[in-house]
Amino acid sequence: MTILYSVIIFSILIFVHELGHFAVAKATGIKVEEFALGMGPAILKKTRGETQYSLRIFPVGGFCAMEGEDEDSEDERAFNNKPFFVKAGVLVAGSAMNLLLAVLILSCIVLYFGTPTTTLDKINLDSPAAVAGISEGDRVSYINNVKINEWEDVSSAINSGDSKAIKIEVIRDGEVIVKDITPVEEDGRMIIGITPTFQKNPVYAVKYGALATWEMGGKMVDVIGQLFTGEVSTKELMGPLGIVNAVGDSAQYGFIYVAQLAALISLNLAIVNMLPIPALDGGRILLLFIRKMTGKIISDEVEGKIHLVGFALLIGLMVYVTYQDVLRIF
């Protein structure tokens, strides 16, 4: 199952990434020579129009081969002959698709579990809320005269003070009921012993999925910055072998955990791929910008060689992180 999950995750993430490049390239009139899923020798090929679509023997990876992507081309529809913003759009599209995939996966997870409402499901026995007369089915409308719109507002209001009494207003069968409740501390936070009901609302699921993606993305950017400042060791980096091991660990707890890890990897791919490093899309965009500012000082051929060097360095990094994965696992 670990191998199966890993192959599925890598295949989907890379396919979605390359699909982003492919879709924008086609939409902007760039000549796409081949769109492939997998790597190695092709086992299935089909040509439609000017593009060959292929399925390759190793189901991990894929590519979108465009005319003039890494070399000079006289074709007016070649990648290298398109305006700056068109080329940049094609390059950004891959990471954008991985970002959207992360939001989609996390939104589906939120929808599966549901989102908390302001209507109460359970009241803990002998809790401050139970003692005050709060009942199941009550809908919290105000706390300390502040309107409650979602469950996060309830948590924030209860934890806004220490053990001071709060005035909570609930709606019960259309009747407004006001109670004074003194929160108690448990595990470092203030509680009154209430649990919300959950609803499966697609709109809220997308909202919370996007918020979760934003929070994870912020943490990833912080860690990347700490790598450059030395606050985080490069020994903490994880390569494909480490990811497969993490997939195996997640699979022990169920599909939802694997899906959450897939969202994390997809977001990581989106962010890392935008770093200004040659061979990555971020590095390609940086060189595009430099060429736009400096004219033809850097030719398409020279840019291709720069990316080739960057690719070699990335392979070296991959070997290093794989070695660290082996040490960490075994």
Which residue type sits at 39?
M
DSSP character at residue 28: T
Are 95 and 267 in contact by the 8 Å Cβ rule? The answer is no
Are 87 and 287 in contact by the 8 Å Cβ rule? The answer is no
Q: Catalytic site residue 18?
A: yes
CB-based burial label for 244 (10 Å; 0-12, 13-18, 19+): buried
Q: Whole-angstrom Cα distance, residue 67 to residue 93?
A: 17
Q: Whole-angstrom Cα distance, residue 233 to residue 229?
A: 9
Which residue in 18, 67, 69, 303 is the catalytic one? 18
What is the end-to-end Cα distance of the chain in Å, rounded? 20
Q: What is the 3-state secondary structure (H, E, C) of 33-70?
A: EEEEEEEEEEEEEEEECCEEEEEEEEEEEEEEEECCCC
**Closest-CA residue to 107 (of 250, 10, 204, 215):** 204
Rounded to 5 degrees, what are φ and ψ at 327? -60, -40
The catalytic site residues sit at 18
